[in-house]
Amino acid sequence: RVLILDFGSQVTQLIARRVREAGVYCEIHPYSMSEAAIQAYGPKAIILSGSPASVTEEASPRAPGIVFTAGVPVLGICYGQQTMCEQLGGKVEPGETREFGRAFVDVKEPCALFEGVWQVGAREQVWMSHGDRVAKLPEGFRIVATSEGAPYAIIADDSRRFYAVQFHPEVVHTPHGDALIRNFLFSVSSLSGSWTMAAFKAQAIEKIRAQVGTGKVICGLSGGVDSSVAAVLIHEAIGDQLTCIFVDTGLMRAGEADEVVTLFRDHYNIPLVHVDAADLFLGKLAGVSDPEVKRKTIGATFIEIFDAEAKKIGGAGFLAQGTLYPDVIESVSFTGGPSVTIKSHHNVGGLPERMNLKLVEPLRELFKDEVRRLGVELGLPPAFIGRHPFPGPGLAIRIPGEITPEKLDILRKADTVYLEEIRNAGLYDAIWQAFAVLLPVRTVGVMGDGRSYDYACALRAVTSVDGMTADYYPFSHEFLGRVATRIINEVRGINRVTYDITSKPPGTIEWE
């Protein structure tokens, strides 16, 4: 098992993901983990993450001393490298050239970290994001690769098995970065890659049983893959101690509410309460156009209904949620680090405090594609698992401005046509997420011989591996033309269609 100490980097979970992909079990803990807890965990290798902090500042975080005295291999990444150097007697200073994004390292000497991947003398692409840099090495270290902004791009102390890199091998923008991490795990740390999603499932089930005991769990089912996988996993762990509550917000796509009820109640036999709350949600959203107010209103209304239903069921001590890692990182600052709030995701926070329930979040460390693999492991239908993600606040955040039943109706129709065309073209699985957005803009058109003055609709389709970054999908013009024609012909209320070509960042996937 590997221990990842988190100093608050936005990409710490990617380290965990790479380690899991290599088939090695790992856990992420805050850098402030106590020495006793580290000893009890008994890591065979330790990885120190990056951080938005600066080692040169006085109150910046440090790794517990035991990390360097336990006799296990340590890999420091970015800030992890810098604090490792500082703590072992080296020196870190603000760099003259800050490096953000693509950079190149020159490989100077052989090193176990990139054996079989990079050759001495080669210039290799990496992804950097740092201002500070190491200026003096601690004793025992040698430089194995350099870059323009980081003369100590890779350093090694082979006898202690301490390795440190200024760049981020965990991100996909460092080609072969995963191979470097695998070298650290297999060659340097002699770990074996035998851990699998089936093992994750078994461990998750054990954890759920240990946490819940004989308690009752309620789970909010949203119809999406995440909460569904969480529900089926928990049901497998504790059977009918679980009751699912499906709050139908009236903000779902056409036909989706029925699908959820059929799958869970009839197919899985999971106890399910179905609440039709469309009128209540629409009432609360009347006149609301600010995206954050919308999200908060939906969140609060959801909580209210959920609370009432849970009371009716009675005796629940736990609340299950299908929270994924990207929801966590974008909603709260992880381990107190200053990662900023981009959007308040409605499935994180709020509920448990109010209801005095403990959270069960078995997917909290996973990325979407990992959840899908877990879903396969749990026997969920492939078509269901392959569904595009759908946000908790639903169509409300796909209608900028005020939401009305009329607009919801228009959007549903346009969305249905769009997805139908995507499926017909065999493109559904190549796309991470595709949806229509109803713009609060009306434009003039000419239909038949008359003038029209109707809404504009934007189509969005993106590719992504984890929802953290995304690129727009390059549809053919012919495809886009066909969809636009169909929407304008078939959906009353829309007379103009545009295609959104913004990537994330700088855009987000949803419009609000």
List of residues 6+ apart from 448 with CB closer than 8 A? none
Q: 81 in the Ramachandran plot: left (φ > 0), alpha (ψ -120 to 50) or beta?
A: alpha
| 454 known ligand binder | no
346 binding ligand XMP? (CB under 6 A): yes
Query: Which residue from 389, 395, 437, 466 is in contact with ligand XMP, where contact means CB under 6 A?
Result: 389
Selecting among 99, 124, 170, 330, the annotated active-site residue is 170
508 binding ligand XMP? (CB under 6 A): yes
223 binding ligand XMP? (CB under 6 A): no
433 binding ligand XMP? (CB under 6 A): yes
List of residues 6+ apart from 72 with CB closer than 8 A? 43, 44, 45, 46, 161, 189
| 224 known ligand binder | yes
Selecting among 86, 111, 168, 330, the annotated active-site residue is 168
> What distances in angstroms separate CA 388 from CA 431, 435, 469, one per listed residue?
8, 9, 15
For the question of residue 170 being annotated catalytic, the response is yes
> What distances in angstroms separate CA 256 from CA 92, 286, 294, 352, one per listed residue?
55, 23, 21, 27
375 binding ligand XMP? (CB under 6 A): no
392 binding ligand XMP? (CB under 6 A): yes
> Distance between CA 164 and CA 147 in Å, rounded?
14
The SS3 of residue 31 is coil
For the question of residue 115 being annotated catalytic, the response is no
Edge-to-edge strands, sheet with 142-147:
26-30, 2-6, 45-48, 74-77, 162-165, 154-157, 142-147, 91-107, 123-136
Q: Are 9 and 78 in contact (CB under 8 A)?
A: yes
The angle, 0 to 180 degrees and rounded to 10, between the axes of the packed helices 368-377 and 225-238 is 40
In whole angstroms, the minimum distance from the beta carbon of 392 to ligand XMP comes to 4
> Distance between CA 217 and CA 203 in Å, rounded?
18
Query: Which residue from 29, 173, 176, 343 is in contact with ligand XMP, where contact means CB under 6 A?
Result: 343
| 223 known ligand binder | yes
Question: Which of these ranges, 34-42, 248-256, 389-397, 414-422, lies near ligand XMP under the rule CB under 6 A?
Answer: 389-397
Q: What is the DSSP string of 237-250?
A: HHGGGEEEEEEE-S
| 227 known ligand binder | yes
- Residues 302-331 interacting with ligand XMP (rule: CB under 6 A): 330
Looking at beta carbons only, is 75 or 509 nearer to ligand XMP? 509
Q: What is the dihedral of CA 168, 173, 176, 180, to 10 degrees?
A: 10
| 360 known ligand binder | no
504 binding ligand XMP? (CB under 6 A): yes
Query: Which residue from 115, 256, 304, 510 is in contact with ligand XMP, where contact means CB under 6 A?
Result: 510
Residue located via tokens 């899908």: 372
For the question of residue 490 being annotated catalytic, the response is no
> And the tokens for 437?
């957005």
| 258 known ligand binder | no
> Distance between CA 411 and CA 455 in Å, rounded?
10
Question: Which of these ranges, 13-21, 151-159, 386-394, 473-481, lies near ligand XMP under the rule CB under 6 A?
Answer: 386-394
412 binding ligand XMP? (CB under 6 A): no
| 228 known ligand binder | yes
Supply the DSSP symbol for 8: S
User: How far is Cα of residue 156 from the mean position of the Cα atoms in its chain?
Assistant: 32
500 binding ligand XMP? (CB under 6 A): no
Query: Which residue from 246, 366, 393, 439 is in contact with ligand XMP, where contact means CB under 6 A?
Result: 393
Question: Which of these ranges, 205-213, 248-256, 387-395, 399-407, lies near ligand XMP under the rule CB under 6 A?
Answer: 387-395
Supply the DSSP symbol for 150: -
In whole angstroms, the minimum distance from the beta carbon of 326 to ligand XMP comes to 6
- Catalytic positions are 78, 168, 170
What is the binding site for ligand XMP (CB under 6 A)? Answer: 330, 343, 345-347, 389, 391-393, 433, 467, 504, 508-510
Residue ranges of the annotated binding site for ATP are 222-228
Annotated binding site: 222-228
